[in-house]
A = this chain, B = another copy of it.
C-alpha cells in the first residue's frame, strides 16, 4: 500500500493538468521569463502566468492573482521574492493547489530565521492539504508531462530519473546527458526540503514504472534508517548511481551553507552505500561515465573482461586499471585463441588478453568486428573493453559486432576529443558507451559488475 501512496501523493507534481507560475515575467534576464519561455517551448497546455502588473506575458494571458484563474490549478511554481513567499503559499492553499514548487532562495541556507520561515510555509501547506518542493530549488523536469527544466534539456521521455539536493547538479546532468543521447523520465531538485525531501522522491522514482535507472545527488540525509531500508529495496529492482557530497568536514560546512542539510563522514557513508547496493561515484564526470554504461541495461555474468586494442601501449595501462578497480582479465579458451589467429595477422599482434591487433587495426578496422564476435562466444569473457582511434570504418566494425553481442561492451577512443566527437555520437546512438580514456571505461565496467554481483547476491 505504501508504494501506491507515494505515487498518488506526489502525482500533482509530475502529472499536473494545469500549472500557475507566480512571479512570471516578460522581462529579459528575469528567472520568471526564463521559466515562461521553457514552458511555452515545451508545449504545456493549461499554463497560467500570475503577475499583478501584466495582462499578458509572451503571448499568454496573465492573471493578477491565483484566485482570478478560472478552474482549478494542480501545481504552482513560486518564483516570487523571499518576502512574498509565505503570502504565495497562502494564496496556493486558498486556491486548492495540491503541489507547490518554491524556487526562491534565501531561507534555511541563511540561518535560523530562514529555517523558521520554512517551518511556517510547510505548516501552512500541510494544513491546507498541499505539499511543497523547495525552497531554493530549480523545480521538476518531466518530459512526458511537458514540465521543462531551466536550461532546456530534450523533451523526449526516457528511462533515467534524477533526484538531487543540488539544483545545479540536476540542471547540469540533464543538459550534458541529453546531449549524449540519454533521455530522462523525471528530475527533481529538492532544495531545502522544508516539506518533501530527497527520500520521498527517491521512493517515488523507485516505484515509478517509467524510471529504470536512478541518479541521486545527496548532501545530507536526515533519516538514516529510512535511507538504508529504501535504497536497499530499490537497488534490487533498479540501479541507483549516487554521488554523496559533504563527506569531509569542510565539505559539510559548504553543504550547510548551500542547503542547510546535515552530512556524515566518508568512511561511514562508504560502508553504507556498499551494503545497500548503491553505485557510488565522486564527480559529475563519473556520474556520466557510469550512466552511459548502465543506460543500456546489459548485466554481465561476472567480472572477467576482454581487452581489445589496436595500438599496443594502452593495453598495459588498461590491464592495470581493470585489476586496480576489481575486475579480472579473462583467460581465453584454447578454441578462442585458435579462432583469433585465423583473423589477426601472426606478427606484432597478440591473441592473449589484451588482444593486440597492432597495425592490422589501422589497415583493416573490420578485424575489430571479427575479434569481438569470437570473444562474444567465449564463456570466459563477461564484458568487452575495446580501445581504438575512431574513424568511420572502426565505428561501423564495432556497431556491426555489437548488434549480435549480448555482453556489455564499451569503447575507449584515445584521441583528442575534438577529432572524435562524431564517433562519440555515432557509437552512442548505437547503444555503445564511449570514453576518452580506457581507465574511465574500465571504471564504468567495474561499477556495472559490482552492481550485477549485488543483484545476484540478492537472487534478482
Interface residue ranges, A against B (CB under 8 Å): 29, 31, 82, 105-106, 164, 166-169, 171-172, 175-176, 179-180, 217, 219, 243, 245-251, 253-255, 257-258, 266, 282-286, 311-317, 319-324, 329, 347-348, 350, 352, 354, 356, 358-359, 363, 414-419, 421, 436-440
Contact = CB atoms under 8 A, between A and B. Distances in A.
Contacts of A319: 248, 250-251, 253-254
A313 B172 contact: yes
B255 A175 contact: no
- Oligomer: number of copies: 2
B246 A316 contact: yes
A63 to B, nearest CB: 26
A416 B179 contact: yes
Contacts of A176: 415-416
A416 B171 CA distance: 12
A168 B313 contact: yes
A272 to B, nearest CB: 16
A316 B166 contact: yes
Contacts of A437: 283-285
A317 B218 CA distance: 10
Contacts of A284: 314, 317, 414, 437
B251 A312 contact: no
A324 B248 contact: yes
Contacts of A82: 347
A326 to B, nearest CB: 11
Given A29-B363, A253-B352, A258-B312, 7 more contacts: A31-B359, A245-B317, A246-B320, A248-B324, A250-B319, A251-B319, A418-B421
A438 to B, nearest CB: 7
Contacts of A106: 347-348
B175 A416 contact: yes
Contacts of A254: 315-316, 319, 352, 354
Contact of A166 (B164, B249, B312, B354): B312
Contacts of A439: 282-283, 285-286
B258 A172 contact: no
Contacts of A253: 319, 352
A97 B251 CA distance: 62
Contact of A313 (B258, B354, B363, B418): B258
Contacts of A438: 283
